[in-house]
A and B are shown apart, each in its own frame.
Chain A
Amino acid sequence: MSKLQIVRLYHDLLGTYGDQGNAEILIHRARAREFDVELHEVAPGESVPDSGDIYLLGGGEDGPQSIALEMLLADGGLTRAVSKGASLLAVCAGFQLIGTALPNSAGQDVKGLEIVDVTTIYTEQERCVGELVIAGPLDLEGNQSIFTGFENHQGRTKLGEGVSPLGIVLRGFGNGFANDSGQIDEGVQMGNVYGTYMHGPVLARNPSLADQILTSALGTLATYHDEFAQALASERRATLWPNN
């Protein structure tokens, strides 16, 4: 069987909020199912391969985010890979980058990678900082999934017509815009593309989301119980959303 190819993009630019751990978690959980995994680190200035299975973008500061955007637009590798069906997890600044438009470090609106139809705007409102809890989609057994993470962002992100969020905000800010039913969206999910404001890293605190992404690349996975991963996810949910 060929190796699972995970591509971590511009860790130096988009590694401010610890999201690089998402790669290690995917590798750990794939190896636990006896898959061979290879991690490709793409440094700023290097070309982005379009043959990867899972791509990861993390959160970063405004200046580095703008540089990452310019390089990804000029390179084109990520957009090609996603159009061929690769999976993508994009967090915070990375989530903003994959949309149609976002503010640059000078506050002007610029074109994004246009992978998903979401638009981020700059606001003078309070910065969105704190624990975030969302109700995600139903899992494979039909249970309501609850995801938790830590958000820290200034921009607010609006989903385009008919675009699905990753979940609905139960606690925190999320994307910052209400949908037609008055609920606040968090993140985006379109096919194999996942965008979110959740750090933690998000896959450390939500192993079922990690498996969802692995499944999108590998197909059905064997059951794997990781004691610490399950305990951490449960503890965070119980602490932040005790009603559940």
Chain B
Amino acid sequence: MIGNLRLGLASRAGYFVGLLSRALGRGRGESIHGRVLLKVYPSALEKLAAGRDIVLVSGTNGKTTTTTHLANILALGTDELVSTSTFGANMHSGIATALATKPRNRYVVLECDELYLPFMYQALKPKVIVLLNLSRDQLHRTGEVRKVANLWNKTFTQDDVTLVIDRDDPFLEFAAAHAGHVLRITFGGRKHPDAATCPSCSALLDWSAGDYKCECGLGSELPQVRADQRLRGPGRNSVLAIEAARLMGAVVPVDLQEELTSNAPDRVSEFNVADRKIPTRLAKNPESWRESLSQLSASQIILSVNAKGIDGLDTSWLWDIDYGSLKSTKVICTGDRRLDVAYRLSVAGIDVAIAESFVKAVEMFTCEQIEAIASYTAFQDLAANSLGLSRAVTGGQQ
């Protein structure tokens, strides 16, 4: 009883600091709420998770969108109240905040950073973990894709959780190799750009049939679900979300399932910049850039790239992407690392220029239709600016 009282007070203290943080324009306040809570009540995570039905969503790309999507599917399919994380706050403090916000909601769907997943699995005792994909991202922090896969492989050795995985990703198949319960979903196989060799035995993977095979047997487990091969990343993530929701007891009618996968949400936000509305995609690593580039339709494109912390400090990966789809467009690069992008595009033969700020980039275009891709912090700054917050905007934007 005393413990609960303390937890309640700690959570309230955190909540007010969060409000204050938002009011001061220092971000959205979710993480700081959780930070205060954990400081005052260190075992808050375990306590707030106890007795609730938790799903964790992790992977390189699509965590935030899939988490929101899965929470909606669960709410629709179970008529229960569902708590979820917001805005990609996916480490200790962000997760604590999400758990504390509506502590009586039975279901909780939480986005979890890849490196924090082992800890959260132990602390929160989730019923289901959805593993979306693994590819190169923030190499300065994660070191190698294989390191994350190894970490997960060593973590999931019990039968107290069900993993929902896209088995076409060999890193995920390896991550789930010792897990007690795995729901494997296939989309018919597709070449993984970072998996020339086997994550398990290091031999060259055989990709000749469009799917991987290895002499060590990786990938030989039969999938339980066979889904549409034509789906792109967001659609594939929706299929995983629907299967996870079913495991949690949700009823998802077939027509709704089709609707959810064919209209899977892309992470596109519309920002008001210089009195124009600019549809902007968040892309932060080679895989999400490929996905975003394939969806652009405007002939005037702004690319905004920073290299701060969460963006990844090394911009070399810009050279891993095929920019052929930009051949007939006009591109303006902005952000702290605009020259890295501009040089990369000029070598690829793209018509490119640079601008000191996003606002100036928009002003350089005359006609209406402009689309943008922004790296993580560049996107955050656009979002903050769009909400009228006073956060310093990267790349000199006013």
Interface residues of A (CB under 8 A from B): 12-13, 15-21, 24-25, 28, 44-45, 61-64, 66-67, 105, 127, 129-131, 150, 152, 199-201, 204, 226, 228-229, 231-232, 235
Q: Is the CB of B344 within 8 A of A204?
A: yes
User: Chain B residues in contact with chain A, CB under 8 A?
Assistant: 136, 139-140, 143-146, 194, 196-198, 202-204, 313-320, 339-340, 342-344, 346-348, 352
A-B contact pairs, 22 of them (CB 8 A): A13-B196, A13-B197, A15-B320, A16-B194, A18-B316, A24-B319, A24-B348, A25-B347, A61-B145, A63-B198, A63-B202, A64-B202, A129-B140, A131-B313, A150-B313, A152-B139, A152-B314, A199-B314, A199-B316, A201-B319, A204-B344, A228-B343
| Residues of A contacting B: mostly | mixed
Q: Which of A25, A130, A228, A229 touches B140 (beta carbons < 8 Å)?
A: A130
B139 pairs with A20, CB closer than 8 A? no
**Whole-angstrom CA separation of A214 from B358 in the bound complex:** 37
Residues of B within 8 A of A20 (CB): 319-320
Q: Is B204 a contact partner of A228 (Cβ separation < 8 A)?
A: no
> Within the complex, what minimum Cβ distance (angstroms) separates B216 from chain A?
12
How distant is B319 from chain A, measured CB to nearest CB, in Å?
Answer: 3
Q: Is A204 within 8 A of B313, CB to CB?
A: no
Identify the 10 closest CB pairs spanning chains A and B, nearest first.
Answer: A18-B316, A21-B319, A12-B196, A63-B202, A228-B343, A150-B314, A232-B339, A18-B319, A61-B144, A199-B316
- Bound CA span A25–B313, Å: 21
Q: Is A28 a contact of B140 with CB atoms below 8 Å?
A: no
Given contacts A63-B197, A63-B202, could you give 13 more A-B pairs where the C-beta distance is less than 8 Å? A15-B320, A16-B144, A18-B314, A18-B316, A44-B196, A61-B145, A64-B202, A127-B143, A130-B140, A152-B139, A231-B339, A232-B340, A232-B342
- Kindly provide the distance from the CB of B283 to the nearest chain A CB, expressed in whole angstroms: 16
Known: A24-B347, A61-B145, A130-B140. A19 touches B316 (CB 8 A): yes
**Is A64 a contact of B313 with CB atoms below 8 Å?**
no
Question: Roughly how many angstroms separate A28 CA and B345 CA in the complex, as a whole number?
Answer: 12
Pick from B316, B339, B344 the residue with the most CB of A within 10 Å: B316
Report chain B residues within 8 Å CB of A150.
140, 313-316
What residue of chain B has the Cβ atom nearest to residue A228's Cβ? B343
Asked if residues A16 and B343 are in contact (CB atoms below 8 Å), the reply is: no
Q: Tell me the bound Cα distance from A20 to B143 in angstroms.
A: 19
Closest-by-CB residue of B relative to A15 is: B320
